Amino acid sequence: MRDVIVLGGSSGEYLAYRVAKILNVDFGEIEVKKFPDGETYIRILSDVSGKRVIYINSLQRGPNDLIIETFYTVDTLKDLGAKEVHLVVPYMAYARQDERFNPGEAVSILSLAKLFKLLDVDSIYTIDMHLHRITDPVKVFGAKFYNLTGVRELGKYVKKHYSIENTVVIGPDEEAEQWAKIMAEELGDLEYSVLEKKRISAEEVVIEAKDVNVEGKNIIIVDDIISTGGTIIEAVKALRKLGARDIIVTCVHPLLVGKAYNKLVKLGLLDIIGTDTVLSPISKVTVAPVIANALKQKL
């Protein structure tokens, strides 16, 4: 793969370096800065003419600026004569804005998909895009789109550092069942379930684990995103009421907005583990091997 070069945007350089190292290919350089009026300046410092370029940028903090940076960079790579361009967006922002909930709202993920389609790249990769109303992102982004998972890497980390005896995997809500299933498989086909709310009356709601007993069991909670932490906090409280013992919380995208990290720490969990699709105090697991392995099959 002598003609392959990996480049990282301002929010993806750390992953680009790790991927380049795994693939044993060149790690290039891009200059990104802001003009005094707030406009974005992009300069590709590495020679990309005739090369197969992997460009990595995560939409993790300040997604609006990063979308523009990504768009300008990829368009410039094509203009400079790159033979192929493979775009990697480890965290895909706006995926939760997948429906018009109120009249006049933008369905932001559909607009973002249209923008990326204009770039006409050779492939687009992301990690665990939030899937709720959009169940198949290929229908939105096109056939060149690949939705990878970082959950197996989280599972490997848990298995390496903790005993999984007497353990149940839990998704904090029904949307998280897809990730709970993957985690359970990675840990040797453990039992898994999701929490669900049952309304007893207008004032009373009961949260319970569906189809599995968690009393006296150790728990691994898995979700795609932790934003404010509200869902996880309620899940931990519910599981403890149901008699759960030690609890490990895992997630792919640890956004940890506001004081979410402090709130999670105060729960007295056995561990809190996230990946590096979003850099945070709990980003203990890298998704670089996931990205590199997928690209090996494409390049």
Domains along the chain? 4-150+286-298 (3.40.50.2020), 151-276 (3.40.50.2020)
Reported confidence tier of residue 139, pLDDT bands at 50, 70, 90:
confident
**DSSP notation for 27-79:** E--EEEEE-TTS-EEEEE-S--TT-EEEEE----SSHHHHHHHHHHHHHHHHH
Say whether 259 is catalytic: no
Whether pLDDT at 173 is above 60: yes
Predicted pLDDT of residue 204: 55
Q: What is the mean pLDDT of residues 234-253?
A: 94
Identify whether the C-beta of residue 51 lies closer than 8 Å to the C-beta of residue 4. yes
Active site residue: 33, 83, 139, 197, which one? 197
Nearest to 130 by CA among 66, 14, 224, 203: 224
Whether pLDDT at 201 is above 80: no
Predicted pLDDT of residue 130: 83
Predicted pLDDT of residue 131: 73
Q: Beta strands 123-127 and 30-34: pairing type?
A: unpaired
Predicted pLDDT of residue 140: 79
Q: What is the mean pLDDT of residues 74-85?
A: 96
Encode pLDDT of 42-55 as tens digits.
999 999 999 999 99
Encode pLDDT of 287-297 as tens digits.
999 999 999 98
Reported confidence tier of residue 279, pLDDT bands at 50, 70, 90:
very high
Identify whether the C-beta of residue 253 lies closer than 8 Å to the C-beta of residue 278. yes
Identify whether the C-beta of residue 187 lies closer than 8 Å to the C-beta of residue 157. no
Encode pLDDT of 62-72 as tens digits.
999 999 999 99
- Mean pLDDT (the chain) is 92
Reported confidence tier of residue 199, pLDDT bands at 50, 70, 90:
low
Encode pLDDT of 202-237 as tens digits.
555 556 777 788 999 999 999 999 999 988 998 999
Whether pLDDT at 60 is above 80: yes
DSSP letter, residue 82: -
Q: Which two tokens stand for residue 131?
A: 């899937």
Sort 297 into a burial class: Cβ within 10 Å, 0-12 / 13-18 / 19+. Answer: exposed
Predicted pLDDT of residue 202: 52
pTM of the model as a whole: 0.92
Identify whether the C-beta of residue 242 lies closer than 8 Å to the C-beta of residue 215. yes
